[in-house]
Amino acid sequence: MPPRSSTTRIRRLERARRLIAGAIHLPRMAAVPALRGQRDHTTLLSAATYSPWRTDVEFRRVYGEVGSATLLDEMRLYELWRLAGQVGHLEGDAIEVGCWRGGAGCMIATRIAAHAPDARTFLCDTFSGVVKAGAHDPTYVGGEHADASAAGVEALARRLGLDSVRVLTGIFPEETGPAVEDRRFRFAHIDLDVYQGSRDAFTWLVPRLVVGAVVVFDDYSFALTGGVRAFVDELEGHEDFVVVHNLNGHAVVVRRKDSGAGAVAR
């Protein structure tokens, strides 16, 4: 028998991958009404297999401490871990807007503290749930994720020995922005679930982001959080930012220059 060419093998694997993904997507659509009729949503099953979050010893240690205090999966946490480890050469602090119980924020703070010992990490939340849900948001109505507290986040930071963490309670930026208005930022994680909240947070941050700063938006690719995607898509083409749609659900925005143009045109 002639040897099967690698092209044939790759094509067969790709067909099998699509079939399996389709078979998983059908029951998902039944369970998640927001997915129905959305032709630009499928169940993603990547051909890639490299999964270093399973073996990175330091990541696993920190994940063991924070895993139960975050809604993010290991893939997204690992991306935050990797990116927060690459801004040590920049100036400024780190911020997470929408920290809930602080798991992802404390993971970011751990990494920032290791690479930029003088930087602070600000963790912001209303601690009374999501605000500013509106017409762009398919499922959020406001008040979701109210089951967290500033005291719980502070206790987690203490357990991890993180002196650099400051918790800001209230609506960002209107209520808590003034406490950090004179600071500059090298890293931001925006995890607010809705269009207007994401837009207001990013718009406030833009004049304070140093060149090279990394901003990660959670919720870019999920069916329930289309408002975040709507806002991030408005940034594409902005001369100051590179926008990367990462298939794990994040959008990663990197400041490549500072033209003074502000966040978005409208």
Judged by beta carbon, residue 85 or residue 98, the one nearer ligand SAM is 98
- Min separation Cβ 54 and ligand SAM, Å: 20
Other CB atoms within a 10 A radius of the CB of residue 178 amount to 11
- Min separation Cβ 197 and ligand SAM, Å: 4
Q: Which residues bind ligand SAM (CB under 6 A)?
A: 70-72, 98-100, 103-104, 124-126, 129-132, 145, 148, 171-172, 191-193, 197
Judged by beta carbon, residue 94 or residue 130, the one nearer ligand SAM is 130
Cβ pair 213, 188 in contact under 8 A? yes
Q: CA-CA distance, 109 to 94, in Å (whole number)? A: 8
In which residue are the tokens 């994720």 written?
145
Q: CA-CA distance, 210 to 184, in Å (whole number)? A: 7
- Min separation Cβ 61 and ligand SAM, Å: 18
Chain residue whose CB lies nearest ligand SAM:
98
Judged by beta carbon, residue 186 or residue 189, the one nearer ligand SAM is 189
Q: CA-CA distance, 101 to 145, in Å (whole number)? A: 10
Torsion angle (degrees, nearest 10) of CA 142, 148, 150, 152: -170
Tell me the residue type at 64.
G
Judged by beta carbon, residue 214 or residue 240, the one nearer ligand SAM is 214
Strand partners, 95: 122, 188
- Min separation Cβ 152 and ligand SAM, Å: 11
Judged by beta carbon, residue 88 or residue 152, the one nearer ligand SAM is 152
- Identify which of 151, 59, 142, 144 has the alpha carbon closest to the alpha carbon of residue 108: 59
- Min separation Cβ 115 and ligand SAM, Å: 20
